[in-house]
Amino acid sequence: MAECIPTRLTYERLGVLVTDFPAYKENGTTSGNLIRVQSLDYSFQHPAVDVKSIGSDQFIYRNNESPIIRQPDVNCNISYLFSSGENETSLGLHLGSDGSILKKFLESESTDDINVIAVASNKERMQDLSNVNDYSGYHVIGIGNAFLTNYSYEASVGSLPRASVSFSASNMKFDQYEPSAAPNLPAIKLGVDNQYSSEELHLDQSSFGYDLVSGANAIMPGDIQVNITKHAGNYGGIPVESEKAAIQSISLDVPIDRQDIFGFGSNYVFDRKLKLPIMANVSIDLILREYASGQIDSFFKEGARYDMTINHTNRYFYSGLRADTINQFVIENAQLRSQSYSKQIGGEVSVSTSFVFGISASGGFKIIK
């Protein structure tokens, strides 16, 4: 077994690739480079079963170990600075006004799993590679059959906006890269015939690089504009739709619940089916500046519903603060669920508000470029 050469791994020595879905194919897999990654963590756990037997004071063992009856539980989490939507495209999310971000997942005729591949350099850094032989000796950690289980976004005053994704996967594979004998992708053919992928991972000078981003490198906190339109509701309290609302932070969470489908003849899942409907939530923290009249008994007649847009812009100071929209989050029919008010001596009144909304293939949450 090859030993890792670097004494420690630092951020400039790591790169992350993801493939398109499904993870297992005979051929034709494409990959994209995840950029502005801030953190990556992964773990696995074998679900060994301790089996007791009547008439015995010992567990039933196989090769002196508790038997493992199915695949290990593999989890992966990635966070990155949000910008122009390149990472979302690489991850298989849909960008456009003709459908929600989960359109491809909900309409796919195959499984929607991907491969997540971390590449660790044994040199000073990942960039400035002139040919494929420069990758010789790099270390490859492959996470196969990774199903997206969560997408989240958060932005706050004074901070760069971030997005994060979570995956539930079926396999991990550790390799050392050699151009003449490239490692195979970590995917397994799900179903009864659990073959390992024969597709090879090929790295070249375009796999990682600074010049892959044509738009803004990062969204500045002052370049985020939140617009809220109220469609129903007459409750009293803070009017979140007001232009004077001093929004301090906004966070969006899209949990993607799945049902693991196991079957006879396989130690691996057949599929991780989406559990419908998909309900997401958005939270907004504000500083209280004004009240709207009304009372919460109005919710018995009609709830409060809103449409929200989050505009990410790229301002040009030399042209009179002209703001070009890079992309836009569109949240449709968000229903108010809770508000909480907090006041402390020497501080403002802060308000925390939460909403829920549904996501279908056609709408609910869209990213429009």
Tokens of 37: 């990654």
Whether residue 154 is contained in a domain is answered as yes
Domain check: are 234 and 201 in the same one? no
Q: What is the pLDDT of residue 22?
A: 94
Whether residue 5 is contained in a domain is answered as no
Tokens of 153: 């976004």
Domain check: are 233 and 99 in the same one? no
* pLDDT < 50: residue spans in the chain: 1-4, 212, 215-216, 318
Domain check: are 52 and 177 in the same one? yes
Helix-, strand-, coil-residue percentages of the chain, each rounded to 5: 10, 45, 45
Q: What is the pLDDT of residue 69?
A: 73
Looking at the DSSP assignment, which residues form a beta bridge with residue 153? Answer: 163, 252
Q: What is the pLDDT of residue 117?
A: 94
Domain check: are 203 and 227 in the same one? no
Domain check: are 15 and 148 in the same one? yes
Whether residue 20 is contained in a domain is answered as yes
Tokens of 301: 């007649």
Domain check: are 68 and 144 in the same one? yes
Domain residues for the domain of 162 are 11-212
The domain boundary, picked from 212, 229, 260, lies at 212
Domain check: are 324 and 177 in the same one? no
Q: What is the pLDDT of residue 359?
A: 96
Domain check: are 63 and 207 in the same one? yes
Q: How many domains does the chain have?
A: 2
The domain boundary, picked from 167, 183, 212, lies at 212
Domain check: are 85 and 176 in the same one? yes
The C-alpha R_g of the chain, in whole angstroms, comes to: 24
Query: What gap in Å lies between CA 290 and CA 180, rounded to an integer?
Result: 67
Q: What is the pLDDT of residue 344?
A: 82
Q: What is the pLDDT of residue 10?
A: 63
CB-CB contact of 192 with 94 (8 Å): no
Q: Who's near 207: CB < 8 A, 6+ residues apart? A: 15, 17, 31, 33, 119, 129, 135
CATH number of the domain encompassing residue 34 = 2.30.110
CB-CB contact of 48 with 68 (8 Å): yes
Query: What gap in Å lies between CA 246 and CA 266, rounded to an integer?
Result: 55
Q: What is the pLDDT of residue 271?
A: 92
Whether residue 158 is contained in a domain is answered as yes
The domain boundary, picked from 188, 212, 236, lies at 212
Whether residue 1 is contained in a domain is answered as no
Whether residue 117 is contained in a domain is answered as yes
Whether residue 6 is contained in a domain is answered as no
Whether residue 138 is contained in a domain is answered as yes
Domain check: are 233 and 341 in the same one? yes
Domain check: are 104 and 171 in the same one? yes
Domain check: are 197 and 269 in the same one? no
Tokens of 127: 């960039």
